[in-house]
Amino acid sequence: MSYEIQTWVRVAAYLGGGLAMGFGAIGAAIGEGHTAAQANIAVSRSPKNSGDIFKSMLVGQAVAESASIFALVIAMLLLFTNFANPTYITVAVMISAGLCMGLGAIGSGVGSGYPAGAACIGMSRQPGVANKLTTNMLIGSAVCQTPAIFALVTSFILLFTNFSDRPVNPTWAAILGAGLASGLGAIGSGIGGGLVAETSCEGIARQPLCSQSVTNIMLLGQAVTQTTAIYGLLVSFILMFKFMPASDTISSAMALLAAGICMGVGAIGPGIGEGVTARSAVSAISRNKDATASITRVMLVGQAVAESTGIYALVIALVLIFVV
Amino acid sequence: MAIEGVDIVKAAAFLGAGISMGLGAIGPGVGEGMAAAKACEAIGRNPQEAGLLTRTMLVGQAVSESTGIYALVIALLLLFVV
């Protein structure tokens, strides 16, 4: 059973489009559902502020939605772009770009829903700080979206780089690995960043006077949370841009695919864990502002230890790419 | 592309190493994050005990790290020894 290369490319493009939109729809829907649930609770507590709460819910949901809109864009591109001179690498590119954007949208969609929900609850408690809450929510959700943007960038580079001068054999696996590293690596950082932003909105509603230090520590905690997504992006860039010499063994291809899987999956846990840490740190600071310095120090030490397994995954991925 | 038995075994070892370290990193990452989270909360309630709490946190995290190190060891064994 043999088909022409055009047939395989179309098969891969349609499959990739389905994967992009299917996975990409998961996160945003969960996040927006969470926001709406919290908004309902908020309105029931404080019906007279329903206007502000409703507005905040819609703005927060719009930010969470952007992750799945990225996935929609990639799915459309995969369905309707005609790629000239297809090779078997193009087949891998289609599937990889779809998987990358689909998986990459999960974390950011879920994560962005948390701060929006907490902002709605906060407005029912402290209507006076609605503006501060909205600002903090938007900053927090914007940081949550960065992993999805990393995945979008990787998908675009995959789709619009000309790989046709590369040898088919290890390159197909490098392409698939690049998509998985960036896509899977975005999940943990997106969710983790959302957890941090959630409690910072809660904290500002509880104690509006400390909003400045809460926002600062939120950004610090989120920045550490993003590091594992950046490792994923780094590994996928190496896999895309390093010229892999031609080989006729399956093991050289599997090493590159395994590097992508290792970094992508390995980034999930540290991303979530560091987010959990920063969430509690922000909450503790909003309760006891005087202890900010020692809480921040312990947060950073704890996050550094949680980061270690992400670094092991990075090391194994780099060994798989460069050593074996 | 002629695929030989040795090649397939090596390919499986590489894939196994990647999967081992990748999946093995999830648990310690989340678990150590939780330990650090509670340490932050505790220091917020009781800042005088920051030193004791930090020490307890680090010991707890070190134990939780061990499974991540097992995954690293298995990955390195698969890459270089087996």
Instruction: Determine the pLDDT at residue B5.
Output: 85
Q: Give the minimum alpha-carbon distance from A285 to chain B in angstroms, rounded to a whole number.
A: 7
**Residue of A40 and B3 predicted with greater confidence:** A40
- Give mean pLDDT, residues A186-215: 94
At A59, which amino acid appears? V
At A151, which amino acid appears? A
Give yes or no for a contact between A323 and A252, defined as CB atoms under 8 angstroms apart.
Answer: no
Query: Cβ of B15 and A257 within 8 Å?
Result: yes
Instruction: Determine the pLDDT at residue A81.
Output: 85
For residue A273, give the CATH number of its domain.
Answer: 1.20.120.610
Instruction: Please name the member of A253, A302, A310 whose beta carbon is closest to the beta carbon of B25.
Output: A310
Query: Cβ of A298 and B40 within 8 Å?
Result: yes
A102 pLDDT higher than 80: yes
Cα nearest neighbour of B76 on chain A: A316
Give the domain extent around A229: 5-322
- Reduced to 3 states (helix: H, G, I; strand: E, B; else coil), residue A87 is coil
Closest CA to A120 of A70, A177, A184, A52: A52
Mean pLDDT, chain A, rounded, equals 94
Q: Which residues have CB under 8 Å from A200's CB, separation 6+?
A: A115, A136, A140, A214, A215, A217, A218, A282, A286
At A234, which amino acid appears? L
Token pair for A34: 């969470």
Cα nearest neighbour of B77 on chain A: A316
| Preferred mutation among A228, A280, A301 to probe B, highest tally of B CBs within 10 A | A280
- Positive or negative: CA dihedral B15, A272, B65, A314: positive
Q: How far apart are CA A77 and CA A175, in angstroms?
A: 18
Count of CB atoms within 10 A of residue A315's CB?
17
At B22, which amino acid appears? G
Q: How far apart are CA B39 and CA B53, in angstroms?
A: 6
Q: How far apart are CA A264 and CA A253, in angstroms?
A: 17
Q: How far apart are CA A309 and CA A237, in angstroms?
A: 21
* Res. B80 pLDDT band, cuts 50 70 90: very high
pLDDT in tens, B12-33: 999 999 999 999 999 999 999 9
- What is the count of structural domains for chain A? 1
Q: State whether residue A310 sits within 8 Å of chain B by CB.
A: yes
* Res. A210 pLDDT band, cuts 50 70 90: confident
pLDDT in tens, A226-267: 999 999 999 999 999 999 888 889 999 999 999 999 999 999
What dihedral angle (degrees, nearest 10) is formed by the CA atoms of A276, A196, A280, B63? 20
Closest CA to A166 of A225, A221, A243: A243
Task: Please report, for residues A35, A113, A191, the alpha-carbon distance to residue A30 in angstroms, rounded to integers and kept in the order given.
Answer: 9, 8, 11
Secondary structure of A262-317 in HEC code, one letter for each residue: HHHHHCHHHHHHHHHHHHHHHHHHHHCHHHHHHHHHHHHHHHHHHHHHHHHHHHHH
Q: How far apart are CA A254 and CA B9, in angstroms?
A: 11
Q: State whether residue B76 sits within 8 Å of chain A by CB.
A: yes
Q: Give the minimum alpha-carbon distance from A58 to chain B in angstroms, rounded to a whole number.
A: 31
